[in-house]
Each structure stands twice: as structure tokens, then as C-alpha cells.
Amino acid sequence: IAGITQAPTSQILAAGRRMTLRCTQDMRHNAMYWYRQDLGLGLRLIHYSNTAGTTGKGEVPDGYSVSRANTDDFPLTLASAVPSQTSVYFCASRGQGAGANVLTFGAGSRLTVL
């Protein structure tokens, strides 16, 4: 089934630990995104990648890093987690051609930092 897979679904993490959230898509979409969603706030863009080999900073990039070694994978790394990074994280991708503006989202990763 074509789509986006995120892992883990949920994770509890001690502050100061390193954590990588994985995101894989099989739709051959060029553009990929990482958002965080917090209660009462809209989705906020952390990092994005317009194509394999390139990345860019979004609205709230501090404390996060990404890489885009190939088209399919776009992992998000928290080098040293802090409690303010407790959130639900969504990976998304956007294709080309007809419907190119539409974002497709993964199921989300719920992260709790204690």
C-alpha cells in the first residue's frame, strides 16, 4: 500500500537522550516535511527537503536535524531531547504533477520527553 510509514508510533524518552524518528515513503515524492503538532497550535514545520540531497529549516528547527540521503527516507533526529520537545510528530510528502500541492501525512509519532 503506497504511503508514508513512521516509526516509532510512540516513545517515552529521558531528557538528554538522542532519538531518531524514522519516515519512509514509497510514492517517489520529491518533497518531504517534518511537522510537530501541539495542543492549541497549528502544525509547525521543523525541517523540509525539496529533493534528495537537500534540506531546509522550517519555523522551529532548533534542537532537530534531518538528512535526505535518498528519495524514500527522511529521518528526524533529536540530538539531546528536552521536555519541550514532547509532541506529536508528523512526516509528510508532496508529489509532482496533478495534485502536486497536496500533502500526504504519515500516522504520526507521539514523543514524550521526561
Partner 1 sequence: GQNIDQPTEMTATEGAIVQINCTYQTSGFNGLFWYQQHAGEAPTFLSYNVLDGLEEKGRFSSFLSRSKGYSYLLLKELQMKDSASYLCAAVDSNYQLIWGAGTKLIIKP
d(CA 24, CA 93): 10
> Segment near partner 1 (CB under 8 A), from 12-20, 22-30, 41-49, 61-69?
41-49
d(CA 76, CA 67): 7
- CB of 108 vs partner 1, minimal distance in Å: 6
Burial (0-12, 13-18, 19+ Cβ within 10 Å), 74: buried
- CB of 84 vs partner 1, minimal distance in Å: 18
Give 48 or 72: the residue with its C-beta nearer to partner 1.
Answer: 48
Peptide bond into 83 cis (omega under 30): no
Site for partner 1 in 20-39 (CB under 8 A): none
d(CA 63, CA 83): 12
Give 40 or 97: the residue with its C-beta nearer to partner 1.
Answer: 40
Does 63 bind partner 1 (CB under 8 A)? Our answer is: no
Return residues touching partner 1 (CB under 8 A).
40-45, 48, 58, 90, 101-108
